[in-house]
Amino acid sequence: MKKFLAFLSTVIMVLAVLPSGMSRSHAAVSFNDVPRDAWYYEHVQYVANHPRELMVGYAGNFGPLDNLTVEQFIKIAVAAAGKGVVVPSDKYWGDVYVSIGLELGFVQPGEFTDYKRPITRAEMARIIIRSLPMITGEKDIPYNENEIRSRIADYDGIPVNLREYVCKAYQLGILVGGTDGKFNPNGNLTRASAAAVIHKMLEPGLRTIYTPPEEVWSDEEFEAYIRENAEDFYAIAKIEDRKIYLRTADKPTPTLLSDKYNPDIHELLYECAKTMAYYAQKNGNAFSIAYSDFFGGSAILYYYVDNKTTHPSIKIEFYAEPRMNYVAERYAPGEQKNPALYSWTLSALYDDDYLLGQGWEPDKDRKKFSWIQDKYAKVLLHLSNIVYGPSQGKAFYDFMIEHQLHAYYTDFSKDDKYIGKVPNANIEVAYYFKVPEAMDKWFWTTKPEVRK
């Protein structure tokens, strides 16, 4: 009896594919082993509640930590392609889906000798790329192998016959590897991770697609600019070996921030300052830097869209010692689990002409206007990529933009908070919008273990 129940559970987990176009009429599916605060919650909800039931559970559970098998992923690809399948009572479901996968060209004869074993990440990439033309219409995907090789630490471990597929899946932002910078091509995916991959495969807007940032000044050009405008950058006492020494009027002795808690702090401060200065010159904006010697010291970078105001559009503070968001601590005590090493403050990411050019008037529906100007969004994204890495930086950028737009589309006087992990980024954020203590969007974040 136990063997029969185990077999039945496995069958229920992988079956239940509805014909193309058929919608579900019952309530949304939820699972006992998928908590709402799990990083994979929204991905599991997507695949389980998709009209084609891409992945389902068993006995009220999803099995998020179970490995996904080859035949299960073939079944998912076939379902995603809209192929309604009815499994005859005298047939094994896996054989039916494998046969269809072979017919569609998602797999080729002889590529697998065991369809019941866990699928590897590189093998999943191959099926994804072969099935995308039928699922999303994407084909002929260009990529730069040398560039991707430079970003994947274990690239040489990818089987040669699968590298083309891995590069394309990586380029599209569907399979991008772990927070350690490795792709782990021969590793297996849990069902939770597979749900995230499938969600990105079917919803391109969720992908973290890497685009090389604009080339900014060389180190020599940046440092020459600072020297030529020294009167505007009193806080910079000197620059040596790509390290910015800081000072205040009260303490003019050149001071270097401690790197005890953040070994990358000097590199990040230098690169972000150089990037802000470059874009400020290019866009006709302003850049400044300040130093605070409180609580272990911090360096603050400011980017001003409107040069006539003292209110920055982008502000980044680098803390030498970890700190807690005092607004979050006051109004949500105990919710921030880890102290932050960075804080980001955002205000208007547009200039007046951009807004007025859309016909904006105070009494009009705010949702009808664009509140994020591309050239300033580009600055923010570039800075995010520097601090967190291109993949995690894009995820954090998307998170900030979402909350920035929320402010424009809702009542500015309402509290707004988010304390927890940023989706698809290995960082924790403590954010609390509270008038008048936090008038702008103010995001305090931890440092990722690896910038990726």
CA angle (319, 177, 443) in 5-degree steps: 25
Question: 157-177 pLDDT, tens per residue?
Answer: 999 999 999 999 999 989 987
Return the pLDDT at 436. 67
Q: What percent of the chain has pLDDT over 70?
A: 89
Average pLDDT over residues 114-127: 96
Residue 373 pLDDT more than 80?
yes
Structure tokens at 429: 């954020």
* Predicted pLDDT of residue 410: 67
Whether residue 147 is predicted with pLDDT greater than 60 in this model: the reply is: yes
Higher pLDDT, 264 or 151: 264
For the chain, what is the mean pLDDT? Answer: 87
The model's pLDDT over 252-294, given as tens digits with 9 standing for 90+, comes to 999 999 999 999 999 999 999 999 999 999 999 999 999 999 9
Cβ atoms of residues 214 and 281 within 8 Å = no
Task: Write down the pTM of the prediction.
Answer: 0.62
Lowest average pLDDT, out of 13-27, 206-220, 354-368, goes to 13-27
| pLDDT on residue 439 | 61
pLDDT at 145 over 70: yes
- The three-state (H, E, C) secondary structure of 191-227, written as one string: HHHHHHHHHHHHCHHHCCCCCCCCCCCCHHHHHHHHH
Contacts of 165 (CB under 8 A, 6+ apart): 122, 125, 126, 128, 129, 130
The answer to whether 199 touches 46, Cβ cutoff 8 Å, is yes
